[in-house]
Chain A
Amino acid sequence: GNSVTQMEGPVTLSEEAFLTINCTYTATGYPSLFWYVQYPGEGLQLLLKATKADDKGSNKGFEATYRKETTSFHLEKGSVQVSDSAVYFCALTQGAQKLVFGQGTRLTINP
């Protein structure tokens, strides 16, 4: 079945550092890929998505590129802020199948 694997956290960075959170997936065919963000005590917010190979999703300075050849969808940001501290979830869906989540990566940004 389909699955998503994220880099284990927690991840701690200083403000203005470069961020990468790795995400790889297993699926047949061409799934849609998503990054969701969860701030403390809140629900999940859709951060960005990509629906086909080589698509780049972007939002709020975050980017992720759908790489079919490496089955990856790594999340990147060039300069993180304290307000980016949250839990980040990579996920995929395929056709009518259910959304499959990674285990989440907790990110803490120190001033």
Chain B
Amino acid sequence: DGGITQSPKYLFRKEGQNVTLSCEQNLNHDAMYWYRQDPGQGLRLIYYSQIVNDFQKGDIAEGYSVSREKKESFPLTVTSAQKNPTAFYLCASSIQVGAQETQYFGPGTRLLVL
């Protein structure tokens, strides 16, 4: 089955620790995205990548880093510089048909700070 997988489903971070969230897609989509969702709120864009080996900051990139070494994979690292990392993290990928783009989302990873 084609789709987007995120792992783990739950992740715990200790103070001062970096953690990495995995996102993999087998949809052959070029673009991938990371969003953060806080309780009762909408989605905010952290980083996005439109092509392998290239990525751009979104609206709230501080304290996060990404890499895009393979088309299928777009891992997100939450660094110790991110002082309030507790949130639900959603990865997405998109296909562009003509001028129209449609994003599809993974199941999410919930990050909790110990």
Residues of A within 8 A of B (CB): 32, 34, 36, 41-46, 49, 51, 89, 93, 95-96, 98-99, 101-104
Contacts and interface: CB of A to CB of B under 8 A. Distances in A.
Interface of B: 6, 33, 41-43, 45, 48, 58, 90, 92, 99-108, 110
Given A43-B90, A103-B41, A93 B105 contact: no
B99 A95 contact: yes
Most B CB within 10 A of own CB, among A43, A45, A102 = A43
Interface of B is mostly: strand
B63 to A, nearest CB: 20
Contacts of A96: 101
A34 B92 CA distance: 15
Contacts of B103: 46, 93, 99
Given A44-B90, A93-B101, A104 B107 contact: no
B105 A89 contact: no
A43 B37 CA distance: 10
Nearest to B103: A99
Given A98-B45, A101-B43, A45 B102 contact: no
